[in-house]
Amino acid sequence: MIKLGRLLPKALLLLVLLVGAAVTLLPYVWMVSSSLKTEAEVFTAGISFIPAHPTLDAYSKALERTQVARYLFNSMFVSTGETLLVCTTSVLAGYSFARLRFPGRDLIFLIVLGTMMIPTQVTMIPSFIIIKWLGWIDTYQGLIVPRAVMAFGIFLMRQFFMTIPYELEEAGRIDGCNRPRLLFQIMLPLTGPALATLAIFSFTNAWNEFFWPLIVTTSEDVKTIQVALATMRGGEVVEWTTLMATVTMSALPTLVVYLLLQRYFTKGIIMSGIKG
């Protein structure tokens, strides 16, 4: 009786989690299933997850008509480049705001934080004009460089640096460390979890970015996957199977990265308090 009393809550919890998992996975199963159907079967009334006549036609159509591999490479390249730059600038700025003393430090930090309140749309046109002056329209640098600094990243790293005891730095100084060495050899190795959080946050942000790539890209060569997917969904005629096949293919790289780095991803979510 006591055993049952203990097991019941666990069983209920498990049931709730199973239902939650099923609800979360259902759209993905539907996506893959639709990508293997014919266009006519997609619209068959009623729910069927298993295609009556499985076909890879949608995949060959997607590969023939669009440059999926190119779009995926572009997204990967831009997201990686952006993440590296964001981590670099956030570490440098975060350390400066946390440890260096200079006039107006806190005011400048507040101004940096204040930029988080300005909607992207407001800065879009001025940024675009600068990019045009630089001749960077439809280039990778045009996509990456304007996103190289992230106020949230600076804030996150500053807060993390502030939690590291001063004694560690002082010990390094006594041993003759200069400032850059202090940062890169003593402080930076201690920021691993925060940096991983920032990297994951920045990468997913860059991967999902739509508006800036939409404005800056003008050719298929540097178009990112998000913009490409929108072109397939946004027309008057939507080929659902081709769209689902493209979405399935575009999900694969992120799925692989997630499976391999899920430990850090979970840690990152816990640390940054990001949900959903």
Applying CB under 8 A, the span of 67-75, 86-94, 112-120, 164-172 interacting with another protein comes to 67-75
Q: Mark residues 128-167: x for contact with another protein by CB under 8 A, - for none.
A: xx--x----x------------------------------
Number of alpha carbons in the 13 Å side-chain half-sphere of residue 44: 15
Q: What is the rounded end-to-end Cα distance, in angstroms, of the chain? A: 38
Residue 51 engages another protein in binding (rule: CB under 8 A):
no
Written as one letter, the residue type at 4 is L
- What Å distances lie between residue 110 and 42, 97, 105, 117, 157, CA to CA? 53, 10, 9, 11, 15
**How far, in Å, CA of 198 to CA of 272, rounded?**
9
User: What part of residues 71-90 is at the interface with another protein (CB under 8 A)?
Assistant: 72-73, 76
Burial label for 74, CB within 10 Å (0-12, 13-18, 19+), is buried
Residue 185 engages another protein in binding (rule: CB under 8 A):
no
Query: Which of residues 117 and 237 has its CB atom nearest to another protein in the complex?
Result: 237
Among 1, 4, 23, 45, binds another protein (CB under 8 A): 45
Which residues would be at the binding site for another protein (CB under 8 A)? 38-40, 42-45, 60, 63-70, 72-73, 76, 124-125, 128-129, 132, 137, 214-215, 217-220, 223, 227-228, 230-242, 249, 252-253, 256-257, 260-261
